[in-house]
Amino acid sequence: MNQESSQDPDNFQPSPDVEAALRPPTFDDFTGQAKTIERLRVMVGAARKRKEALKHVLLCGPPGLGKTTLAHIIGRELKRDVRITSGPVIDKPGDLAGLLTNLQEGDLLFIDEIHRIPKTVEEYLYSAMEDYRIDIMIDQGPNARSVRLEIPRFTLVGATTRVGLLTSPMRSRFTLQTRLDYYDRKDLTKIVLRSCNLLDCPIDQEGAEELAGRARGTPRIANNLIHFTRDYADEKHDGKITREVACSALELLAIDAHGLDEMDKRILLTMAKNYKGGPVGLGTIAVGVGEEEHTLEEVHEPFLIQEGYLKRTPQGRILTPKGWEISGFSHGHLTDSDQLELM
């Protein structure tokens, strides 16, 4: 088995300070997601006019599309603080109580991966979202007693990549449920040009379009590619990102013209070579490619399905004709033009 030395753009992360600097600060600066932005503008504007807490908001969609950024923008537009946490961190009701009681009137509590909150904790959120109070049990057995805690009127902004895992009672308590979709190439090109301008990184239009076309419709990945390509341009060329420089840098990262990375290709090849194109379960694929199942489901599969390489059926995942073409196989037989190898 060959060792893969290329760098996965999903895991290549700039420093937090740089990442924060690239976040658009206002709705006007936010590119794409027009319907979601308009809905949020309406709610934020009304809350500001009435001088009351914003109603609860649920942001859904694949990772890297701007859910956390939108929470920051909402807080900035309302001139309120944003407290950020994630579902797995809130392990018990006491953790939730600590977060809620430290909020000020009108503050935002942003919970990423809200679908991973334990059910025992989720039940305490119901009364907090509706009545702005929580009842906490103190002690156990005959000494057990309930203590009611009043909390400030706050806004819960939940983010999830898997809205189907949220319970119906939880979903129903969000006034707005809105989905963020993958970006088209035009919007991503604008994001690339803006980020390069903020980073003082020279780039031409064709270079920006090349990076945008291979960023899987995801701003986070686009920004990650910018950081690597800027380093490549500084080290190997004159510092300016052109189409030629971008292509060379992305070739080094093993990202093809379709935006497929090494793991995407490994998934398609494994399905074609070992399972005759499916149907095959995601858990089986995960074992075959040596990756966690939830990573495949949340990071790789949505893009492969949207781009038409895979189909999800009740029996399992199957390759489409487009997926067969990328795999280098035809009806279960390896073609002469196959350039993919299991690593």
**Residues belonging to the active site:** 67-68, 112, 161, 220
Instruction: Output the CA torsion 152→161→76→24 (10° steps).
Output: 170
151, 132 Cβ separation under 8 angstroms: yes
Give me 336's structure tokens: 């002469």
- The C-alpha R_g of the chain, in whole angstroms, comes to 23
φ, ψ of residue 317 to 5 degrees: the values are: -85, 140
The three-point CA angle 264-6-269 to 5° equals 30
φ, ψ of residue 305 to 5 degrees: the values are: -70, -45
135, 148 Cβ separation under 8 angstroms: yes
If you search the block for the tokens 């319970």, which residue do you land on? 167
Give me 142's structure tokens: 């005959």
User: Measured between alpha carbons, how far is 273 from 278 in angstroms, rounded to an integer?
Assistant: 10
33, 181 Cβ separation under 8 angstroms: yes
Helix (H) or strand (E) run with residue 138 in it: strand 133-138
